Amino acid sequence: MPKAVTRSFLRFRCLRPWYLLVPLFAETAQAAAVGIPGAEGSPPVPEASHWLSVTVIVVLSAALAVTVLLRRREARRLTLLREKEQRLSTVLDSIEACVFIKTPDLRYTYVNRRMAEMLGRPVGEILGSRDEELFDATTAAHLNAHDRQVLEHGEKIVVDETLISRDADTPSHLLLSVRLPLHSPTGDIESLCGISTDVTEHREVLEHNHRLAFYHPLTGLPNRGLLMERLEQALREIRHRRGFGALMLIDIDKFKRINDMSSHEEGDRVLQRLAEYLGEMVRDTDTLAHIGADEFVLLVRHLDPKVEMAARHAERVGARLLEMIPSIQIEEEGVAITGSIGITLFSGRGASAGETMQQADLALEQAKRAGGNTLRFFNEEMQQMAMERVRVERDLQRALEREEFRVFYQIQVDEKGQIRGCEALLRWIHPKLGLVPPNLFIPVAEQTRLIQPIGRWVLEQTCRQLAEWSKLPTRSHLSIAVNVSAIQFRQENFVDEVRQILRTTAIDPSLLIVEVTESVLMDNPEQVRTILSELRGLGTKVALDDFGTGYSSLNYLKKLPLDRLKIDRSFVAGIPEEAADVAIAETILSLANNLGLSVIAEGVETEAQSTWLRARGCTGFQGFLFGHPVPVDELLITSQ
């Protein structure tokens, strides 16, 4: 019972005897006024006594009135106190935080509803208990330590607490708790109060968001963002000591084929297994990350101060990784899994984290070019090539709008030496570098997909040139062949673009020859056949460029809607001395004859080559022997 209520109750009990004496005093006063029956001989009461009796009656009546008033006031006060206590209890039971009060001997004297719900016990069972009776020993020890800190030092504390119940069925909770002392009127600490907020779900959300931000969802490994943070940290650390670190970029060879031949689910399982296997080989000081579809990175710290020893250690690690990757089994039989690794050493001097990643990527690219299933180290020459490629890419993005591209033409002749057409060849006239070789900017254009707008521009220029030639009797019969890149060929609206250009320029479509490389046939053959058929349906002709350099099936080749095969210059160069080149050229000529296709040999530079090819039935020739690629205004074409 509250102290204020107790004091009021005691005052009421002290007033009670006066209340009982009121009838007695009333009777005495009456007797004094009229005399007592049976006492006839008694002397009369003095007038002073009469007024005394009246005064007593008045005083007692006033006391009685005051007593009644105090009782009513106390009753009202008790009612208000109960209402306040009820409201306070309702408020404390409504909040989602746990509120409790403990005595100096650490027993609970109050808990709210949330506290009881969290512990899974009724309030009556918790009151009077200690933490040892409610939680496991470790949790109770931590809670007691926090309580004693409050009681002994009289200070408020804010702590994280993990509550693990003694009941195995009750889940654990992570709380953010505020504990503070409660003082008596004299200033002594008589108890402590705690307010604890359950942050379990909040922490889980934060951890989930952290995992999404810094870890790959498939493998659970650090992603690119977290890797770059750790790489920057490694670079800072290594600047203060001698030594090296290594960054290894690991990529599965032809991973797309695994997805295509098996399934994407199987591809995901391969990546998960690879993450597990790689994780078993990683030291605690190293970092294994998953930064892309099939790209993993191993950050190795604390290598030898001597560069030769550091490189040897990194090479041994890389070799073990390459040996381990083929051990991953997949459902599709006959599909071997191999990997390529690019390695760069870093010492914290010079290269930034981004540049270090770029170096590893360049080394990986070299490993891929070497056929895969191998590793390569980065070197300065590769870096210079990379910087040159960056400059080319930057300038290439502005070359089209600045009209720096030109179309050159190289004539093509028949077996009689008559000019039958030309091949359109893209050239880039850089304002500072001059004529940029195609082998420098075409691969960059393909990688950045700038080849699509550039390729469309070449097609438009070619068809406009055919439209101009159609007005000239000496050139109206000439055809122009245009090489189309694989990226441009596979874009969804490629055929529509060709149709629109043909309609706009109003040329004879049979004079436009679309050349595709043999490598295009390897990816989605059915789609390739559909596109070629649609191009033929527009009236254009289709040629297969660089024939013999790929691995297309001859059985599939006969089903393609082709008009011409083009013998690659790499085979023509060895004619007639190299037996292998001779055999390949003869095979292509024989195959074309059986399939009803015309043949044109490119790269013809000598009379011996021309004579040998004519003798084997070749009907088309292109090369320096007949003319170099030149601008259209320098193209010499006499009347035929």
Asked if the structure places residue 435 within a domain, the reply is no
Give tens-digit pLDDT for 415-453.
Answer: 998 999 999 999 999 988 899 888 888 988 888 889 999
Q: Using 50, 70 and 90 to split pLDDT, how confident is the model at 460? A: very high
Q: Which two tokens stand for residue 630?
A: 């030149």
Q: Which two tokens stand for residue 406?
A: 């030109």
Domain count, the chain: 4
Residues 419 and 548 in one domain: yes
Residue ranges making up the domain that contains 338: 222-378
| Amino acid identity for residue 69 in this structure | L
Asked if the structure places residue 240 within a domain, the reply is yes
Cα–Cα dist 106/120, whole Å: 20
Residues 554 and 581 in one domain: yes
Dmax of the chain from CA atoms? Answer: 180
Give tens-digit pLDDT for 175-223.
Answer: 888 999 988 888 888 899 998 888 877 777 777 766 777 888 888 899 9
Asked if the structure places residue 130 within a domain, the reply is yes
The DSSP symbol for 46 reads P
Q: Is the peptide bond before 576 cis (omega within 30 degrees of 0)?
A: yes
Asked if the structure places residue 208 within a domain, the reply is no
Cβ pair 266, 331 in contact under 8 A: yes
Cα–Cα dist 122/273, whole Å: 49
Residues 601 and 459 in one domain: yes
Domain boundary among 176, 203, 230: 203
Taking 70 as the threshold, does the pLDDT of residue 174 lie above it?
yes
Q: Using 50, 70 and 90 to split pLDDT, how confident is the model at 11? A: very low
CA atoms within 13 A on the CB side of 479: 20
Residues 463 and 597 in one domain: yes
Residues 489 and 611 in one domain: yes
Residues 320 and 191 in one domain: no
Cβ pair 283, 302 in contact under 8 A: no
CA dihedral 39, 45, 51, 55 (to 10 degrees): -40
Domain boundary among 378, 404, 434: 378
Domain boundary among 90, 117, 141: 90
DSSP E strands in 437-594: the ranges are 479-483, 512-517, 541-547, 564-567
Residues forming a β-bridge with 160:
176
- CATH code for position 606: 3.20.20.450
Residues 71 and 138 in one domain: no
pLDDT in the model for residue 44:
60
Q: Which two tokens stand for residue 513?
A: 């020859």
Task: Report the predicted TM-score, pTM, of the whole model to 2 decimal places.
Answer: 0.52
Residues 139 and 109 in one domain: yes
Percent of the chain beyond pLDDT 90? 30
| Amino acid identity for residue 507 in this structure | I
Kindly give, in sequence order, each residue whose CB lies less than 8 Å from that of residue 603, ignoring residues fewer than 6 positions away. 568, 569, 570, 572, 573, 622, 623
pLDDT in the model for residue 39:
46
- CATH code for position 239: 3.30.70.270
Taking 50 as the threshold, does the pLDDT of residue 5 lie above it?
no
Asked if the structure places residue 247 within a domain, the reply is yes
Residues 610 and 479 in one domain: yes
pLDDT in the model for residue 409:
95
pLDDT in the model for residue 535:
93
The helix or strand, by DSSP H or E, that contains position 307, with its residue range, turns out to be helix 307-324
Asked if the structure places residue 250 within a domain, the reply is yes
Asked if the structure places residue 47 within a domain, the reply is yes
Sign, CA dihedral 222-223-226-228, equals: positive
Taking 90 as the threshold, does the pLDDT of residue 525 lie above it?
no
What's the average model confidence in pLDDT over 478-483? 95
For residue 143, give the nearest of 130, 129, 127 by alpha carbon. Answer: 130
- CATH code for position 173: 3.30.450.20
Q: Which two tokens stand for residue 168?
A: 């195995």
- The phi-psi region of residue 338 (left if phi > 0; otherwise alpha if psi is between -120 and 50; otherwise beta) is beta
Residues 489 and 455 in one domain: yes
Q: Using 50, 70 and 90 to split pLDDT, how confident is the model at 328? A: confident
